[in-house]
Every structure is written in structure tokens, then in C-alpha cells.
């Protein structure tokens, strides 16, 4: 049996100079948590011998399992393997199985194995090799003084496969530890402080062993309840009871739980009810369509969209009457409604969303400042539009407007809220 404290070490100057965002650690932490393993620290160090060796040594003080990513690419800036050899001892040996895998992979791309890739099949004799079916660098499983160390390539697509298929199953088998149970409630459209004031008395009444965390991101606030113990059923029961209280206070603002996203929730509902959707996007510039089509299977309900950055396309492709734009302006309730209505009719769908606004940072006026966004909705029963005042930050505004539009769709279609 091994204990449950995990440290993640990422190796690579590219993280320390900021050219790469470390998305691996978040993914790994999520997966580890789900099987009751707890990440106690994430450490990013550079591609240099001393700091790698120090990081390997120090991690064993804090953790029972050390998962190392990065520093195993085919190119010459990588010294991780030499450090592993120095730290764990042994000698470099050529691994036939990994090499066969590399050859298979390259032949599927119609390419020849280069000498550089061949070198990747050389592995310290002190490790158990984790054959990488997704790439050329294998994973390596070492054990030293009761600590497990696993080294994996940093390419997310490869690391995820090795983790899911080889590392997590083995760690699960060996541990026998208390479970952590989380439940995460997803809200859209209410700020963190306002949400906190609404649920203050519920939060204050939570028992000691239940923790609440606020996880804000642009346009969303997630609320996470956590508790730890041996009796998993009792932990779920406890969180279920607490969740009831939360739903009583802010139920209609909770669009989902856990890893669900608004596009997924909408997709499940629309496919189940055999409904169709189209979108007309001006200031969100295709982001709503992108979010929707990021989900596999979305073609079963999403027919498509028009990104009408120019007035001309609003008129020609969506049939927005030119005098609506002339009278009310491009960023107006009337235009948003005409766009949604036009999208629904042109693309022949049950529902349509539209967005018109000023994403910024420029283009605002005194009357219509940057961050003003009208979101329109069209159905067989009629149309409506709602105004939002967002920030002056283009990226945040695009994200928040897209989420607000999808949440409006959810509330109108799934919750069946009135049009007005």
C-alpha cells in the first residue's frame, strides 16, 4: 500500500519563461483527486541538472508519489533522462518494445524513424517501462525508498494516455485510502460577492468537515463542496443534504454540476427533444459556434451559424431590415431581435440566438460604451432580447457574452421561462 500524497513536477524552461501554460497539472490533479489521491504541491523547474535532482529529492519529503512531466522530447534541450539515471542508478538500455511502438507510429504517418527518435527508446535499466502508444518517448516508473516516481512526456495528448491507461490504474490498485468527495455547482451570471451574500447563512451553517470553495472565472462562478472520509456513501449523503439547502436558495442559477458545460447541457436537451439551433454572432465572432461545435455529436442539433461582422452580412445573410439598423443602430434590442429572428428563419431551426455588441477595447460611444451587448433569442413563440453591460476587456467580453447567451437559451428553453 502506498500513501496518497502526490507531488507533480514539471520540467522545462518553456514553462519558466512563460512560453507554455501548464495545463497538464490541472488535468492530472483532477484525475488523481477522483481516486482519492491528493496533490500537495506542483513544482515547475528548469531543464538543468542541479534543480532537477534537488526537485526529485525534495519531493520525497512532501509526497509518496511524484509524477514528473516534460523534458523527454526528441530534441536536444532535454536532460531529464540523464538526471533520472543519475538519481535512480542503473545504465541506459535500448528497449525493443518501445522502439517497435515508435516504428509502428511512424509507419502509420508514412514516415521513417529518425536517429533522434531511436534514441528515445534508450531507457534507464532501473525503471519499469510504460510503453507510450501515443508518441515516441515512453513513461518510466521508478521506486526509491517507499516513494514512487513516474516520468512522462509533457505532450498532453501522450501524457494523458499514459496516465489514464497505465499510471492511474496501478496507483489505484496500490492505495487503499480515504476518499475525497467533491460536488461542484456551476453558476452563470452572478458575481462572486453577490453569490456569497445570498448564501452566507447556509455557508455559515456548514459542518466543520465540509469545505466550500468559490472558483470564479470570466462569466462563471463554480462552488465546490468537499469532504473526506472512509465511508464514501456517507460522504455523498452528507454532500447531497448540503446541496439541497443550496438549491433552495440559488437553484435556478445553477446550470449544472461537475464538469458539465453549458453547451453540453444544451446539446443533451436539444438532442433528447429533437430540437435544432442556429446562431447569429456579431461581437462574439464565432465563439458561440466554436463552443457548441467543440462537443462531439453537436451536429445532431446544431445546424450552423452566421458570423456577421459587417452590417452588409446582417442584411444579406440574415435578412435584418436595413431600416431597423438605421433607426436603432447595430447594437440595439431591435437589431438583436431581427438577427435572431433572421437566423431562425434563414437556417430553418427551432431556436436561434444572436449577439450584437461592442467587445472592445475600442469602438464605444458615450451612449453605447464598450462592453454593451444585446443578446437576442428567437423561437416559434416569439423573440426577445436582453442587454448586458460587461467589461472593457475584449477577451473577457467575448467569453462572458457567449456564456450569457447560452445561459439565456437554457433558461428560456430548458427552464421554460417566459419571453418577457
- What residues between 25 and 84 interact with its own copies by CB under 8 A? 25-33, 38-46, 51, 73-77
Per CB under 8 A, contacts with its own copies among 119-138 are: 136
Decide if residue 316 touches its own copies (CB under 8 A): yes
Cell numbers at 361, concatenated? 477595447
Name the pairing type of β-strands 211-217 and 220-229: antiparallel
Count, residues near its own copies per rule CB under 8 A:
102
- For residue 149, the cross-strand partners are 66, 142
Q: How far is the CB of 416 from its own copies (least distance, A)?
A: 26
CA nearest to 378, candidates 269, 267, 276, 256: 276
In the complex, the smallest distance separating the C-beta of residue 73 from its own copies, rounded to whole angstroms, is 6
Query: Which residues within the stretch 339-378 sit at the binding site for its own copies (CB under 8 A)?
Result: 346-348, 359-362
Cα–Cα distance, 154 to 137 (Å, whole number): 10
| Residue numbers 259-288 binding its own copies by CB under 8 A | 279, 281, 284-288
Smallest gap, in angstroms, from Cβ of residue 64 to its own copies?
15
The pair phi, psi for residue 43, each rounded to 5°, is -125, 125
With respect to its own copies, which residue has the nearer C-beta, 241 or 316? 316
Nearer to its own copies, 54 or 125 (CB): 54
- What are the φ and ψ backbone dihedral angles of 88, each rounded to 5 degrees? -100, -10
CB of 91 to its own copies, least distance (A): 26
- CA 349 and chain centroid, separation: 29
Q: Supply the minimum distance, in Å, between the C-beta of residue 79 and its own copies.
A: 12
Comparison of 90 and 160: residue with beta carbon closer to its own copies:
160
Site for its own copies in 171-230 (CB under 8 A): 182, 184, 192-194, 196-197, 203, 211-217, 222, 224, 226
User: The cell 458545460 sits on which residue?
Assistant: 261
Q: Pick between residue 16 and residue 90 the one whose CB is nearest to its own copies.
A: 16
Sites for its own copies among residues 86-125 (CB under 8 A)? 111, 114, 116-117
CA distances from 293 to 30, 141, 301, 352, 397 (A): 24, 38, 10, 15, 20
The rounded distance, in Å, linking the Cα atoms of 363 and 164 is 47
Least separation in angstroms between residue 260's CB and its own copies is 13
Residue 51: how many other CB atoms lie within 10 Å: 15
HSE-up of residue 388 (Cα within 13 Å, Cβ side): 29
**Packed helices 262-272 and 394-409: angle between N→C axes, nearest 10 degrees:** 30
In the set 168, 254, 275, 317, which binds its own copies (CB under 8 A)? 317
315 binds its own copies (CB under 8 A): no
Residue 125 or 309: the one with the smaller Cβ distance to its own copies is 309
Residues 234-263 that bind its own copies (CB under 8 A): none
Taking the C-alpha atoms of residue 142 and residue 65, their distance in angstroms, rounded to an integer, is: 10
Shortest distance, position 298 Cβ to its own copies, whole Å: 7
Which triple of cell numbers denotes residue 14? 518553456
Q: Which of residues 377-396 bind its own copies (CB under 8 A)?
A: 391, 393-396
Q: How many CB atoms sit inside 10 A of residue 227's CB?
A: 20
Q: Which is nearer to its own copies, 16 or 368 (CB)?
A: 16
CB of 143 to its own copies, least distance (A): 24
Which residue, among 150, 232, 145, has the nearest Cα to 183 in the 3D structure?
Answer: 232
Helix, strand, or coil (residue 219): coil
Find the binder of its own copies among 11, 14, 127, 338 (CB under 8 A). 14
Amino acid at each position: 500500500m502506498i500513501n496518497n500524497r502526490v507531488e507533480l513536477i514539471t520540467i522545462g524552461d518553456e514553462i519558466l519563461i512563460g512560453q507554455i501554460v501548464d495545463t497538464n497539472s490541472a488535468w492530472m490533479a483532477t484525475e488523481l483527486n477522483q481516486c482519492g489521491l491528493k496533490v500537495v504541491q506542483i513544482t515547475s523547474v528548469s531543464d538543468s541538472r542541479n534543480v532537477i535532482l534537488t526537485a526529485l529529492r525534495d519531493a520525497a519529503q512532501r509526497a509518496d508519489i511524484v509524477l514528473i512531466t516534460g523534458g523527454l522530447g526528441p530534441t536536444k534541450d532535454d536532460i531529464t533522462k540523464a538526471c533520472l539515471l543519475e538519481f535512480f542508478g542503473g545504465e541506459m538500455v535500448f528497449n525493443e518494445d518501445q522502439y517497435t511502438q515508435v516504428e509502428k507510429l511512424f509507419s502509420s504517418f508514412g514516415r521513417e524513424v529518425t536517429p533522434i527518435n531511436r534514441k528515445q527508446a534508450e531507457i534507464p535499466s532501473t525503471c519499469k517501462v510504460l510503453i507510450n502508444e501515443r508518441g515516441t518517448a515512453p513513461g518510466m516508473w521508478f521506486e526509491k525508498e517507499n516513494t514512487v516516481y513516474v516520468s512522462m512526456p509533457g505532450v498532453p495528448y501522450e501524457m494523458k494516455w499514459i496516465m489514464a491507461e497505465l499510471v492511474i490504474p496501478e496507483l489505484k490498485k496500490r492505495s487503499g485510502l480515504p476518499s475525497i468527495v467533491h460536488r461542484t455547482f456551476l453558476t452563470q451570471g452572478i458575481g462572486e460577492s453577490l453569490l456569497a451574500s445570498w448564501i452566507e447563512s447556509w455557508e455559515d451553517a456548514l459542518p466543520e468537515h465540509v469545505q466550500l470553495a468559490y472558483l470564479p472565472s470570466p462569466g462563471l462562478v463554480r462552488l465546490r463542496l468537499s469532504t473526506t472520509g472512509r465511508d464514501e456513501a456517507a460522504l455523498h449523503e452528507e454532500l447531497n443534504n448540503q446541496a439541497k439547502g443550496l438549491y433552495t436558495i440559488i437553484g435556478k442559477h445553477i446550470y449544472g454540476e461537475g464538469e458539465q458545460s453549458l453547451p453540453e447541457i444544451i446539446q443533451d436537451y436539444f438532442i433528447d427533444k429533437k430540437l435544432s439551433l442556429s446562431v447569429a454572432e456579431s461581437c462574439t465572432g464565432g465563439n458561440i459556434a466554436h463552443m457548441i461545435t467543440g462537443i462531439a455529436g453537436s451536429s445532431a442539433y446544431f445546424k450552423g451559424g452566421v458570423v456577421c461582422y459587417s452590417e452588409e452580412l446582417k442584411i444579406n445573410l440574415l435578412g435584418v431590415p436595413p431600416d431597423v439598423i438605421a433607426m436603432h443602430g447595430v447594437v440595439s434590442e431591435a437589431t438583436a431581435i431581427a438577427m435572431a429572428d433572421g437566423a431562425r428563419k434563414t437556417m430553418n431551426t427551432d431556436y436561434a440566438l444572436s449577439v450584437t455588441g461592442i467587445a472592445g477595447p475600442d469602438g464605444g460611444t458615450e451612449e453605447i460604451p464598450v462592453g454593451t451587448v444585446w443578446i437576442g433569442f428567437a423561437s416559434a413563440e416569439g423573440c426577445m432580447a436582453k442587454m448586458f453591460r460587461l467589461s472593457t476587456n475584449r477577451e473577457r467580453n467575448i467569453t462572458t457574452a457567449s456564456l450569457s447567451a447560452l445561459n439565456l437559451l437554457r433558461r428560456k428553453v430548458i427552464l421554460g421561462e417566459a419571453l418577457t
